[in-house]
Amino acid sequence: MLYAVIMRFDSLREIMPSIQAEARKLCHFSNILFKGVERHPKTGKKKEVYF
């Protein structure tokens, strides 16, 4: 409700599309920001360690 007050919305019909649009923006932003986080970097062959 604080979001509605700050944005000066009067009805639920104004609030819902705006919140949905903001959610899409945040999802898109997080995909750009954390693009490589979910994927592990490719590693070469594991080297044998001799003691």
What is the full per-residue pLDDT of the chain (51 aa) written as tens digits?
888 898 899 999 999 999 999 888 887 777 666 665 555 556 656 666 665
Q: What is the pLDDT of residue 16?
A: 92
Question: How far is the C-alpha of 48 from the C-alpha of 45, rounded, in Å?
Answer: 9
Question: How far is the C-alpha of 9 from the C-alpha of 15, rounded, in Å?
Answer: 6
Q: What is the pLDDT of residue 35?
A: 67
With beta carbons less than 8 A apart as the criterion, state whether 36 and 45 touch. Answer: no
Q: What is the pLDDT of residue 24?
A: 84
Give the count of beta carbons closer than 10 Å to the beta carbon of residue 20. 10
Q: What is the pLDDT of residue 14?
A: 92
For the whole prediction, is pTM greater than 0.85?
A: no
